[in-house]
C-alpha cells in the first residue's frame, strides 16, 4: 500500500501549481440548529439545550491552463481551537480537470480514502455523549492530500490519500473504491495504513447500501489492526423507511469490539426526520450497553434528543 501514495501525486501537484488562477468570486452558505437533549447513565446526566452554527466560505475559478481551482473555509463555533487554527473547522484547496482527476489539499479537517468511508451504516450513533470511545481509523485530517482518479469505468470511483505526518507524528496512506453501477446499490471498500517509528496499524472498511422502494438497507464493518496495542472492530446496520418526500424513519445498530475486552459496546437508535423548505425537525432515542466495556447498570446509558436545523 505504501507504493501508491507517491505515484502520480508529485507530478500532478507540480503541473497544477505551475499555472496561475484568475480571481474568483467568494460565496457564503450557513446553517444553524437548536434543540434539547436528555442523558441518563454514561458520562453525563440531565437535560440541556443545544445549539449549532456554521458558515462555509467557498469560491472557485479557472486557470489559464484549464485547471479548476476552488477554496473552502468552514467557521464553526464548536471547533477545537487548541490546535492553533483559530475558528476554522476545516479549510481546503481543490484542483481538478476531467483528464487529471481531482486533488484536494486539506490544511485541516480532511479525510483519508479509508476514513471517509468508515462512518458506520447507522450514522455513527456512538457519537452521542454516551461515553463510548471513538473508533480507530487511519490518520488523516491536517496537512493531507486526497486524489480522486479520472473516470476509469462508469460508476466506479477510486481515491488515494497521503498524510506525511511531520513533527514526529504518524504518516498515513490509504486507498478507496466505490461502485454504484447497479440501480439502488452502492458498495465501498477502503484500506489505510498508519506508520510511526516502530509501530504500524492497518484499517479496512467494507460498506454497502441498497434502496428498494421506500426502504434503504445499509451494512458496514471496519477493522483496525495494530501491531502494538488492542485491535478494534465496528459492525453496523440500518433500516430506513421513507414515509413521504418530507418524512423518514430509521433504525440503526452498532457493535464495538476491542481486543482484550470481554464485553462489547452496543448502541441502537430509532430516529425520525421531517423536512420542510430549509427547515429539518429531527428526533431520536439512543440506548447503549457495555459502555466502557462495563457490565450491568454501570454500562448502560440513554439519550433522547429533539432538534430543528435551518439552512440558509
What local confidence, expressed as pLDDT, does residue 259 receive?
87
d(Cα 34, Cα 264) in Å, to the nearest integer? 33
Is the CB of residue 165 less than 8 Å from the CB of residue 80? no
Nearest one of 115, 83, 280, 292 to 188, comparing CA atoms: 115
Helices (H), the chain: 9-17
User: Where does the chain show beta strands of DSSP type E?
Assistant: 26-41, 46-62, 68-76, 88-97, 101-108, 144-148, 156-163, 171-182, 185-196, 199-212, 215-226, 232-242, 247-258, 265-276, 279-289, 301-311
Find all residues with CB under 8 Å of 131, minimum gap 6, and list them.
42, 43, 288, 291, 292, 301
CA distances to 118, 178, 222, 244 from 205, in Å: 6, 11, 4, 32
Q: Give the model's pLDDT for residue 131.
A: 85
**Averaged in consecutive runs of 10 residues, what is the pLDDT profile of the chain (312 residues)?**
40 44 73 92 77 91 90 77 58 91 90 90 91 76 88 90 77 94 96 83 95 97 86 95 97 94 95 94 96 90 95 84
Pairwise CA distance, residues 134 & 257, whole Å: 12
Distance CA 303, CA 39 (A): 5
Residue (of 67, 72, 60) closest to 97 by Cα position: 67
Span 34-311: which CATH code? 2.40.160.10
User: Do residues 179 and 186 lie in contact, with contact meaning Cβ atoms separated by under 8 Å?
Assistant: yes
Instruction: Return the domain boundaries, the chain.
Output: 34-311
User: C-alpha cell of 30?
Assistant: 450557513
Residue 301: phi and psi, rounded to 5, are -150, 150
pTM beyond 0.75? yes
Q: List phi, psi (to 5°) of 139.
A: -60, 145
Amino acid at each position: 500500500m505504501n507504493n501508491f501514495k507517491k505515484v502520480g501525486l508529485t507530478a500532478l501537484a507540480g503541473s497544477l501549481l505551475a499555472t496561475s488562477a484568475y480571481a474568483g468570486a467568494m460565496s457564503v452558505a450557513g446553517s444553524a440548529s437548536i434543540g434539547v437533549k436528555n442523558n441518563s447513565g454514561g458520562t453525563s446526566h440531565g437535560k440541556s439545550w443545544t445549539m449549532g452554527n456554521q458558515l462555509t466560505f467557498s469560491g472557485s475559478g479557472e486557470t489559464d491552463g484549464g485547471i479548476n481551482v476552488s477554496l473552502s473555509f468552514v467557521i464553526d463555533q464548536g471547533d477545537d481551537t487548541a490546535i492553533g487554527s483559530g475558528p476554522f473547522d476545516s479549510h481546503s484547496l481543490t484542483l481538478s480537470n476531467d483528464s487529471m482527476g481531482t486533488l484536494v489539499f486539506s490544511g485541516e479537517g480532511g479525510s483519508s480514502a479509508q476514513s471517509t468511508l468508515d462512518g458506520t451504516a447507522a450514522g455513527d450513533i456512538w457519537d452521542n455523549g454516551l461515553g463510548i470511545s471513538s473508533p480507530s481509523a487511519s490518520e488523516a485530517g491536517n496537512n493531507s492530500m486526497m486524489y480522486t482518479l479520472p473516470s476509469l469505468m462508469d460508476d466506479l470511483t477510486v481515491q488515494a490519500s497521503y498524510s506525511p505526518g511531520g513533527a514526529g507524528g504518524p504518516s498515513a496512506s490509504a486507498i478507496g473504491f466505490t461502485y454504484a453501477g447497479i440501480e439502488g446499490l452502492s458498495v465501498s471498500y477502503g484500506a489505510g495504513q498508519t506508520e510511526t517509528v516502530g509501530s504500524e496499524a492497518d484499517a479496512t472498511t467494507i460498506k454497502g447500501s441498497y434502496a428498494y422502494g421506500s426502504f434503504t438497507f445499509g451494512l458496514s464493518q471496519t477493522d483496525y489492526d495494530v501491531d502494538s496495542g488492542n485491535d478494534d472492530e465496528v459492525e453496523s446496520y440500518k433500516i430506513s423507511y421513507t414515509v413521504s418526500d418530507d418524512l423518514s424513519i430509521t433504525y440503526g445498530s452498532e457493535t464495538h469490539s476491542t481486543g482484550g475486552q470481554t464485553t462489547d459496546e452496543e448502541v441502537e437508535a430509532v430516529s425520525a426526520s421531517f423536512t420542510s423548505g430549509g427547515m429539518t425537525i429531527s428526533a431520536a432515542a439512543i440506548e447503549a450497553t457495555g459502555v466502557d466495556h462495563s457490565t450491568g447498570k454501570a454500562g448502560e446509558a440513554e439519550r433522547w434528543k429533539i432538534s430543528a436545523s435551518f439552512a440558509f
